[in-house]
Amino acid sequence: MHDDVVAIKMSDKNPREFSGDLLVCVVEEDIPQLASEVPGAIHRALQQVWSTGDFKGSKEQTLLFYPGMIATENDTEVRAKRVLLVGLGKQDEAINGRREQLRLAGGTIAKQAGIVKAKEVLVILPKDYLLEAADISQCLTEGLLLGNYRFEFHKTPKDEPDKPTRVERFFLHDGGLAGGAVRKGLQRGKALAEAACAARDMANQPGNHWTPAAFADYAKKLGKKSSLKCKVLDKAAMQKLCMGGILGVNQGSALPPQLVILEYKTDKKNPTVLLVGKGLTFDSGGISLKPPAGMEDMKYDMCGGAAVITAMQALAETEVSGVNVVALIPATENLSGSAALKPGDVIRHFGGKTSEIINTDAEGRLILADALAYGIATYAPEAVIDLATLTGAVIIGLGHHYTGLLANNDQLATRLIDAGAQAGEPMWRLPLGPEYRKQIDSRVADIKNAGSDRSAGTITAACYLQEFVGETPWAHLDIAGTAWDFTEKTYIPKGPSGTGVRTLVDCLSQWEPLKPAGKK
Ligand code: BES
Ligand code: ZN
Ligand code: ZN
């Protein structure tokens, strides 16, 4: 959607020759040292601000100055228009903490660059940072590109002299680190950040623009320009397959539903992982109508689908090996047209299970159930991961800081928690079990779509999904609290965060076949 993709490249120039808008040095707290490639005048300036105590490299601390302020008479070694020092803070003890410090620094750089309207920015990588070179450049790249994100698609351009702008070109200088590794990390960080930004774009588009058909079109285009294979099941195909969940939720909408399928194939010998993402392009609640205050945010109810589709894009771009991945995105609106599903109705899901509708606002589980059952029957995956903005209850429990994780397999749960920690997208596991499952027993059908009270709402929603995965190792990520309004960070804007994309790609890039349950 952003035609003007932000460029990020390795710099082949000496920083002394960079004559762009902003030259940036990343500085560790209490270690006033810079890479030897940094112009001498900046070394001297740093010593001075250090000795005065004005700049210590603490987290998110910045110092902006101009070459004329530091140059001696014959000094021509800083040609950039401005210089920015950015603090990293003290190196975190944990490796994931150090990764996050670099993303935060990247976000700070993008923000400060925006304020001074810099278009071309050169960042020199920090010296002696305890991470592999590729990791350093990946995390910094993620922070720069995610922090530089804007969504102004529907704004008429006008002259606003004080409004921060977007950087057009970033350059990374390796600062003496191994160039090849830095380049590799940059490419990976770029693919991940661009995928997450694409997911943000989809979410930012209102429901009248980002429709089920828009999901299908995006996937078809991906199928044409990448190694991904795309198929889309339309309403007629869903009717043949008896997908009563997606069809039922769709009944109140004038727009037809779509079941988007993307396949990433490596080797037949590799295991297959199935991803499923909730693609509810607007959730009014249906007949069980939501209250109007804040209902506009329900255009974001497709963030699970967006994360899954763009994660596939990044998997293809980074040429992940060792795993086959299939993504399913059931997409529809949940509206209250005259044919809409009603409380008390009974539907039949793909595979035959029946469900009594108690609340038409508990629609996410209905569309996911069909997709999970269909995906497992069709692709026999070794593991399934679904992402969905499924319950308001997860916000009550975990707020906007952790994604809720529920799983029937400890190994899969641990992998996701680890991948989330690595990506700066933390997750907290909640229990499942028969005592919760009982809450969705129905007197008239096999199961009902909501419990009789609101207790354990996130868990009973997951119990519903669990009915459709059988014994297949499965994990469900409830991203209702993190898909938008996620913890404020320099590289996470207000609005949709793109959460899940980087975690999924990290998890799948390191995929090893799961060990049979019981064996450690
Ligand atoms: N899309 C909502 C969940 C949601 C709510 C996400 C608030 C983000 C913020 C979902 O379809 C829903 O409405 N769930 C109901 C389920 C209930 C009726 C059992 C909920 O959480 O209230
Ligand atoms: Zn709902
Ligand atoms: Zn919903």
Tens digit of each residue's pLDDT (9 = 90 or more) over 247-294? 999 999 999 999 999 999 999 999 999 999 999 999 999 999 999 999
Q: How far apart are CA 508 and CA 408, in angstroms?
A: 18
Confidence class for position 170, pLDDT limits 50, 70, 90: very high
Q: Are residues 468 and 412 in the same domain?
A: yes
Which pLDDT score is estimated for 175?
93
Q: Are residues 245 and 177 in the same domain?
A: no
**Nearest alpha-carbon partner for 276 in 348, 394, 141, 366:** 366
Q: How far apart are CA 478 and CA 18, in angstroms?
A: 46
Which pLDDT score is estimated for 12?
85
CA of 337 to the centre of ligand 1 (A): 19
Residue 415 lies inside a defined structural domain of this protein:
yes
pLDDT digits (tens, 9 = 90+) for 438-472: 999 999 999 999 999 999 999 999 999 999 999 99
Question: Measured from the CA of 449, which atom of ligand 1 is nearest?
Answer: 19
Supply φ then ψ for residue 226, to 5 degrees.
Answer: -135, -175
Mean pLDDT of 489-493: 97
Residue 93 pLDDT exceeds 80: yes
Q: Are residues 142 and 263 in the same domain?
A: no
Amino acid at 68: G
Instruction: Give me the chain's average pLDDT, please.
Output: 96
Instruction: Out of 200, 231, 246, pick the residue that ends a domain.
Output: 200
Supply 508's token pair: 């799948």
Residue 134 pLDDT exceeds 80: yes
Mean pLDDT of 177-205: 98
Which pLDDT score is estimated for 317?
98
Residue 2 pLDDT exceeds 60: no
Instruction: List the beta strands (DSSP E) in 199-291.
Output: 229-233, 258-264, 272-277, 279-283
Could you tell me how many helices (H) and strands (E) the chain has, helices first?
Answer: 15, 18
Q: Are residues 337 and 428 in the same domain?
A: yes
Supply 56's token pair: 């210590």
Task: Specify the DSSP class assigned to residue 227.
Answer: S
CATH code for position 34: 3.40.220.10
Q: Are residues 283 and 397 in the same domain?
A: yes
CA of 273 to the centre of ligand 2 (A): 27
Nearest ligand, measured from the Cα of 286:
2
Least confident of 19-33, 93-107, 187-201, 350-364: 19-33
Residue 192 pLDDT exceeds 90: yes
Which pLDDT score is estimated for 518?
62
Q: Are residues 260 and 113 in the same domain?
A: no
Higher pLDDT, 31 or 475: 475
Place of tokens 């903490």: 97
Q: Are residues 188 and 229 in the same domain?
A: no
Q: Are residues 255 and 360 in the same domain?
A: yes
Report pTM. 0.97
Domain count, the chain: 2
Neighbouring residues of the ion ligand 3, judged by CB less than 5 Å:
280, 283, 301, 364
Supply φ then ψ for residue 507, to 5 degrees.
Answer: -65, -45
pLDDT digits (tens, 9 = 90+) for 333-362: 999 999 999 999 999 999 999 999 999 999
Q: Are residues 169 and 106 in the same domain?
A: yes
Confidence class for position 30, pLDDT limits 50, 70, 90: confident
Q: What letters, b where the CB count within 10 A reaches 16 and e where it falls short, cover 17-50?
A: ebebbbbbbbbbbebbebbebbbebbbebbeebb
Instruction: List the beta strands (DSSP E) in 167-248.
Output: 169-173, 229-233
Q: How far apart are CA 460 and CA 394, in angstroms?
A: 11
Residue 151 lies inside a defined structural domain of this protein:
yes
Supply 18's token pair: 């960079």
Question: Measured from the CA of 450, which atom of ligand 1 is nearest?
Answer: 19
Residue 145 lies inside a defined structural domain of this protein:
yes
Which pLDDT score is estimated for 519?
55
CA separation, residue 170 to residues 10, 80, 400 (Å): 8, 13, 31
Point out the residues that are catalytic. 290, 365
Q: Are residues 478 and 392 in the same domain?
A: yes
CA of 401 to the centre of ligand 2 (A): 21
**Nearest alpha-carbon partner for 258 in 332, 368, 203, 202:** 332
Residue 464 lies inside a defined structural domain of this protein:
yes
Which pLDDT score is estimated for 70?
80
Question: Measured from the CA of 283, which atom of ligand 1 is nearest?
Answer: 1
Supply φ then ψ for residue 263, to 5 degrees.
Answer: -120, 130
Residue 241 lies inside a defined structural domain of this protein:
yes
Residue 116 lies inside a defined structural domain of this protein:
yes
Instruction: Out of 200, 232, 263, pick the residue that ends a domain.
Output: 200
**Contact residues for 416 (Cβ-Cβ < 8 A; gap 6+):** 385, 405, 407, 427, 475, 477, 503, 507
Q: Are residues 238 and 154 in the same domain?
A: no
CA dihedral defined by 467, 328, 412, 193, rounded to 10 degrees? -150
pLDDT digits (tens, 9 = 90+) for 221-234: 999 999 999 999 99
Confidence class for position 302, pLDDT limits 50, 70, 90: very high
Q: Are residues 255 and 151 in the same domain?
A: no
Instruction: Out of 200, 234, 268, pick the residue that ends a domain.
Output: 200
Residue 505 lies inside a defined structural domain of this protein:
yes
The beta-carbon contacts of 373-379 under 8 Å, at least 24 apart in sequence, are 373/349, 373/468, 373/469, 374/241, 374/243, 374/259, 374/328, 374/350, 375/274, 375/276, 375/326, 375/328, 376/274, 376/468, 376/469, 376/470, 376/472, 377/350, 377/351, 379/272, 379/274, 379/326
Question: Measured from the CA of 280, which atom of ligand 1 is nearest?
Answer: 1
Residue 111 lies inside a defined structural domain of this protein:
yes
Which pLDDT score is estimated for 5?
77
Portion of the chain with pLDDT greater than 90, in percent: 92
* Residues linked to residue 328 through DSSP beta bridges, in sequence order: 261, 276
Mean pLDDT of 476-495: 97
CA of 358 to the centre of ligand 1 (A): 13
Mean pLDDT of 299-319: 98
Mean pLDDT of 479-506: 97
Mean pLDDT of 314-322: 97
Residue 4 pLDDT exceeds 80: no
Neighbouring residues of the ion ligand 2, judged by CB less than 5 Å:
283, 361, 363
Q: How far apart are CA 233 and CA 256, in angstroms?
A: 11
Please choose from 335, 361, 459 the residue to mutate so as to test ligand 1's pocket, defined by most ligand atoms within 8 A of CB.
Answer: 361
Which pLDDT score is estimated for 496?
98
Task: Specify the DSSP class assigned to residue 30.
Answer: T
Higher pLDDT, 379 or 73: 379
pLDDT digits (tens, 9 = 90+) for 390-442: 999 999 999 999 999 999 999 999 999 999 999 999 999 999 999 999 999 99
Range of the structural domain that residue 61 is part of: 7-200
Q: How far apart are CA 304 and CA 326, in angstroms?
A: 15
CATH code for position 279: 3.40.630.10
**Which ranges of 380-432 would DSSP assign to H, the alpha helix?**
393-398, 410-423
Which pLDDT score is estimated for 71?
72
Ligand 1 pocket by C-beta < 6 Å: which residues? 283, 301, 359, 361-364, 389-393, 450, 457, 480
